[in-house]
Chain A
Amino acid sequence: MGLQIDAFAYANRLSRLHPAYKAGCSLLALCACLVLDRPLASVIVLVLMLALTTVWAGVPWRAVAKLLFAEGSFLLAGVLGIALTVSPSPTPGSVSVGGMWVGVSAQSLAQAVAVFLRALGSVAALNFLALTTPVPDLLEWLRRLRVPEVLVELMGLIYRFTFVLLDSLGHMTLAHEVRLGFASQRATLRSAALIGANLFIQAFRRSQRLEVALRSRAWNGSLRVLPWQDAPRPQR
């Protein structure tokens, strides 16, 4: 299982741009959405961020749309809770559920639509950042913003190990698949547990092997490496 968003972050026209610009752009749009809190503003931010992502950064619009659609469907379920109203007395068009009247009012619906659009605009702003900025760049930026070193370092390790473990997970899932490990619900639960446990054991053993490998390179306790922004960036 690869992480598509991560792949785009390295392979778009803006990937070499300083992360501060992209993060600034994204956070500004986020704030605009949240602070203004007007459907019109949200829609403008949404369109603008989609345009930046597809036209400026050159991320394929299909990928952007697919992501937004998935997020939109998550949002709809959440917005449902705002659109519905619950009151002790019947309102026009409401139905009785367990002694309470559940319905939809003009006010609640307007609010639901506003929240939906606001969230969609914000999500598009977040997507812009996620799809254009490689995580190591972001970490380097956080380091320069004086985020505690130990935290940035831990984030870097988690990011790196995530892909190592995803690889292991992929192999193990396949190994169970070929032995009909997911043939029934029961088998799936059992396979999932075995895979989860194995993954945990592997993670633990890997941490020990990594320690040995680091010590063999004269490691003295701090994971000091060269700053990322000095890395040579060959043109491709």
Chain B
Amino acid sequence: MTRRHVFQVSLTLLVLLGLSAQPALAKPPQMHIMEGFLPPLWAALWFAVALPFWVIGIVQIQRLTREKPEARLLLGLAGAFAFVLSALKLPSVTGSCSHPTGTGLGAILFGPFISSVLGGIVLLFQALLLAHGGLTTLGANAVSMGIVGPIAGWLVWRGLRSRLNEGVVVFLAAALANLLTYVVTSGQLAVAHPDPAGGVAASFAKFGAIFALTQIPLAISEGLLTVLIFRALRQNAPAELRALGVQEA
């Protein structure tokens, strides 16, 4: 490419970016990696990382539904809940809801393995029904949104619940899950598309900076949202929470 080409293509990209600014601002990029964005090798690698979680999760679900056949209905509704949360109307600065609230609740209720299966299914349906994410990138998205994020949230919840105020713990769990999701996704993009001059580290900084615009406010508001949801649940549905095995702090 000559200098002139570079200029022309840059200009075209800028114009396209301007054109798309309207919808893009109304709905800031979610942390889904789009279909086709990862080279085959990386796509396969992330599937391989997710696979053990899914296998253990499926075995656990099989055991659970054998012991309690009605549990599959609750699992089904929990998955649907995680999917539907992304359609929740949120303050405009943060755009659409991401996953940690839904999958995080799943992790608290069913543990990280089963919730990784639920997360995988929800991601598949988001690709097929909402055109968010994709099939070849499902593994990578499942690792960042269905495994790492929820596990981080779950660990915070388990580790700090007895030591700190419950509201603070829930906020930390949800916000951290969100931030980790964002860090992992940036990392996944960086290793797949390293910067020609600065390498993976520079690329990580670039993707991180681009997504930071939306993801840091999102992490905070999602943390607040989860706290409020949790508080409402404690007030309005203590019996249900107890039945689900969420004990009093």
Contacts and interface: CB of A to CB of B under 8 A. Distances in A.
Contact of A35 (B30, B40, B58): B40
Contacts of A69: 20, 23
Contact of B58 (A86, A91, A106, A150): A150
B134 A161 contact: no
Nearest to B92: A185
Among A76, A87, A91, max chain B CB count under 10 A is at: A76
Interface in B143-179: none
A51 interface: no
Contacts of B135: 27, 30, 126
Of B32, B76, B127, B195, most A-chain CB atoms within 10 Å: B76
Contact of A123 (B36, B58, B198, B221): B36
A206 B5 CA distance: 59
A83 B240 CA distance: 50
A115 B37 contact: yes
Contacts of B249: none
Contact of B10 (A109, A148, A173): A109
Nearest to A151: B58
Given A81-B210, A193-B225, A86 B16 contact: no
Contact of A191 (B21, B35, B89): B89
Given A76-B16, A119-B36, A126-B131, A85 B196 contact: yes
B122 A158 contact: yes
B49 interface: no
Contact of A197 (B127, B131, B232): B232
B13 A86 contact: no
B35 A123 contact: yes
A154 B232 CA distance: 28
Interface in B20-78: 20-21, 23-24, 29-30, 32-37, 39-40, 43, 58, 61-62, 65, 69-70, 72-78
B100 interface: no
Contacts of A105: 6, 196-197
Of the four ranges (under 10, 10 to 19, 20 to 34, 35 or more), the interface on chain B belongs to 35 or more
A118 B35 CA distance: 9
A201 B233 contact: yes
B34 A158 contact: no
A121 B36 contact: yes
B70 A192 contact: no
Interface in A115-160: 115, 118-123, 125-127, 129-130, 135, 138, 148, 150-151, 153-155, 157-160
Interface residues of A, number: 104
A221 B66 CA distance: 8
A199 B81 contact: yes
Chain A CB count within 10 A is highest, among B9, B16, B81, B236, for B81
Contact of B76 (A154, A188, A191, A219): A154
Interface in A163-180: 164-166, 169, 173
A6 B210 contact: no
A126 B1 CA distance: 31
B17 A76 contact: yes
A12 B201 CA distance: 46
B34 A74 contact: yes
A235 interface: no
A113 interface: yes
Contacts of B1: 106, 109-110
B75 to A, nearest CB: 6
Contacts of A222: 69
Given A30-B136, A169-B87, A161 B61 contact: no
B193 A82 contact: yes
Interface string B86-103: 011111110001000100
A229 interface: no
B37 A119 contact: yes
19 contacts: A34-B40, A35-B40, A74-B32, A75-B37, A81-B203, A81-B207, A109-B9, A122-B136, A138-B128, A151-B121, A158-B80, A158-B125, A160-B76, A169-B88, A185-B91, A192-B88, A193-B228, A197-B228, A197-B237
In the complex, the 3 A-B pairs of residues with the closest C-beta atoms, listed nearest first:
A122-B36, A157-B76, A193-B228
